[in-house]
C-alpha cells in the first residue's frame, strides 16, 4: 500500500471490531439499544422498536452515525473493513485525514437516514453505505481529477457495482440497499463537485 495505512481508517476499523466483539460477548442487547438509529429491544426471537427518531430528537445525535460501527457477522465485518482499509487509507494518504473524516461522517449520516426513511425500520447495520460512498468519491474524483492521486481500477469498480446490483436480488437477502444507494450516489456527486476546479484548469 504505497500511501500507508490511515490513522482514522484504523480507528474506524478498531471501533467496528470492538463493537462486534462486544456483541458476541453478551452486550448485543445494549448495542441494539444504544447504537442503532433508534432504540431496538430484543424480545425473545424478535425485536421491538418505536417508529420515528424519538431518541435523536431528544439529543442522542450519535445514533445518526453509530449504526455504521455495528455488523451482522464476521464475514460482513471482514468485507467492509477490507474496503475501508483500502479506500480510507488512500483518501487519507492522497488528501488528508480531515477530508476522510468529513466524508465518513456525512456519508454515514446521510446513508443511515436514507435507509431508515426508505424502510421505516432501525434494524440495519454496517459500514457498507460509507464504503460505497468512498468508492463513488474515489472513482469519480480519480476520473475527473487524476492529479488527486486517487484511482480505482475499472475492474474494481465493475466488481463493486455488480455486487451492488446483486444485493438487490433475492440471492443476497437482508441487505441495507437504501444505505448502499444513497452512499454511492452521494459519493459520486461529491467526487464530481470536488473535481470541478481541476476540470476547469484542464479546459
Identify the helix (H) or strand (E) that includes residue 195. none
pLDDT confidence bin for 1, thresholds 50/70/90: low
Instruction: State yes or no: pLDDT of 203 exceeds 60.
Output: no
Q: Which residues are catalytic?
A: 128, 180
Flag whether 194 is in a domain: yes
CA distance readout (Å), 55 to 43, 131, 171, 176: 20, 26, 34, 21
Confidence check: pLDDT of 50 > 70: yes
Q: What pLDDT is attached to residue 47?
A: 83
Asked whether residue 39 is assigned to any structural domain, the reply reads: yes
Closest CA to 96 of 8, 20, 17, 14: 8
* Mean pLDDT of all residues in 55-61: 94
Tell me if 87 is assigned to some domain. yes
* Grid-cell match 469519480, residue found: 140
Domain that holds residue 188: 7-202
Asked whether the predicted pLDDT for residue 102 surpasses 70, the reply is: yes
The length of the chain in residues reads: 203
Give the pLDDT score at 127. 97
Helix H segments across 50-195? 54-57, 74-94, 97-119, 128-144, 154-166, 177-193
Confidence of residue 35 (pLDDT cuts 50, 70, 90): very high
pLDDT at 149 over 70: yes
The widest CA-to-CA distance across the chain, in whole angstroms, is 62
* Residue 2 covered by a domain: no
User: Does pLDDT of 27 surpass 90?
Assistant: yes
pLDDT over threshold 90, residue 155 = yes
pLDDT at 48: 83
d(CA 70, CA 57): 21
Residue 98 lies in a domain: yes
Residue 19: give its domain's CATH number. 1.20.1540.10
pLDDT at 45 over 70: no
What does the pLDDT read at residue 200? Answer: 87
| Number of separate domains in the chain | 1
Cα–Cα distance measured from residue 37 to residue 53, given in angstroms and rounded to the nearest whole number? 7
What mean pLDDT is predicted for residues 11-38? 96
Between the CA of residue 194 and those of 1, 142, 164, what are the distances in Å? 24, 10, 24
Amino acid at each position: 500500500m504505497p500511501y500507508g495505512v490511515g490513522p482514522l481508517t484504523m480507528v474506524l476499523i478498531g471501533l467496528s471490531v470492538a463493537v462486534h466483539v462486544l456483541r458476541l460477548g453478551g452486550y448485543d442487547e445494549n448495542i441494539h439499544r444504544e447504537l442503532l438509529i433508534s432504540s431496538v429491544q430484543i424480545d425473545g426471537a424478535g425485536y421491538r422498536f418505536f417508529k420515528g427518531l424519538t431518541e435523536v430528537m431528544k439529543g442522542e445525535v450519535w445514533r445518526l452515525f453509530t449504526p455504521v460501527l455495528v455488523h451482522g457477522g464476521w464475514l460482513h465485518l471482514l468485507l467492509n473493513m477490507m474496503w475501508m482499509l483500502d479506500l480510507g487509507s488512500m483518501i487519507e494518504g492522497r488528501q488528508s485525514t480531515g477530508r476522510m473524516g468529513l466524508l465518513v461522517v456525512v456519508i454515514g449520516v446521510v446513508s443511515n437516514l436514507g435507509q431508515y426513511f426508505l424502510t421505516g425500520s432501525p434494524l440495519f447495520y454496517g459500514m457498507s453505505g460509507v464504503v460505497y460512498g468512498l468508492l463513488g468519491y474515489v472513482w469519480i474524483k480519480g476520473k475527473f481529477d487524476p492529479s488527486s492521486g486517487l484511482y480505482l481500477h475499472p475492474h474494481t469498480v465493475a466488481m463493486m457495482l455488480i455486487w451492488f446490483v446483486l444485493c438487490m436480488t433475492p440471492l443476497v437477502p437482508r441487505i441495507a440497499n437504501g444505505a448502499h444507494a444513497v452512499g454511492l450516489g452521494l459519493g459520486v456527486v461529491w467526487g464530481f463537485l470536488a473535481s470541478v476546479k481541476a476540470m476547469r484548469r484542464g479546459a
